Structure 1
Amino acid sequence: MSQKMISAVNHSALIPQFFFICLGMGGASLYLFRLAKGPHVTWNKTNNPEPWNKLDPSYQYKFVAITTDYKNLKKEGPNF
């Protein structure tokens, strides 16, 4: 066994800390991957330099848009 593994076995109180650190790093990596796959991010500028122009007007990618009137946009779901 390596020296680091022996120290983790000898100090068993560090095992949950290693677990939660790895869990947090994994969650942060997945979140960054999700952000990188969004429609407003461009990775290939030769094929589509402005991907946000393909979005329809009802796609709300901001929380608040001051100039957009959301009452007049077409809905795809039922009215409640």
Structure 2
Amino acid sequence: MLCQILCQAKKHPSLIPLFIFIGAARTGAALYVFLLALCNPDVSWDRKDNPEPWNRLGPNEQYKFYSVDVDYSKLKKEGLDF
């Protein structure tokens, strides 16, 4: 498949930016999925020791990738402790 891409790039040099952007998009998407699988509190890899990882997060911890206008350091916890 790589040979086919290189042959197409040699015949049509205008396709090179397209291949670069598609490769960068695929790499970015794979890295984002990897980040979500490892750092998201909704994903539990260890069911025995930590079956509910979302309960150990404090109210001032940011677990979202990007938050527009929420300052997590000033949030207070609402509700009961379990």
TM-score calculated relative to the size of structure 2: 0.62
> By percentage of residues, which structure has more helix?
2
TM-score calculated relative to the size of structure 1: 0.63
Structure 2 unaligned residues grouped into runs of 5+:
68-73, 78-82
Paired position in structure 2 for 1:57: 59
* Partners of 2:42 and 2:49 in 1: CA distance: 15
1:61 Cα offset (Å): 4.9
**Conserved? CA contact 2:59–2:75, under 8 Å:** no
Q: How many matched pairs?
A: 67
User: What SS is found at the alignment partner of 2:20?
Assistant: helix
Flag the structure with more relative contact order, 1 or 2, with Cα contacts below 8 A and sequence separation at least 6. 2
* Partners of 2:11 and 2:75 in 1: CA distance: 65
Identity over aligned pairs, percent? 47
Paired position in structure 1 for 2:22: 21
Paired position in structure 1 for 2:71: none
Computed over aligned residues only, the root mean square deviation of the Cα atoms, in angstroms, reads 2.9
Structure 1 unaligned residues grouped into runs of 5+:
64-70, 75-80
User: What SS is found at the alignment partner of 2:60?
Assistant: coil
Name which one, 1 or 2, has greater alpha-carbon Rg: 1
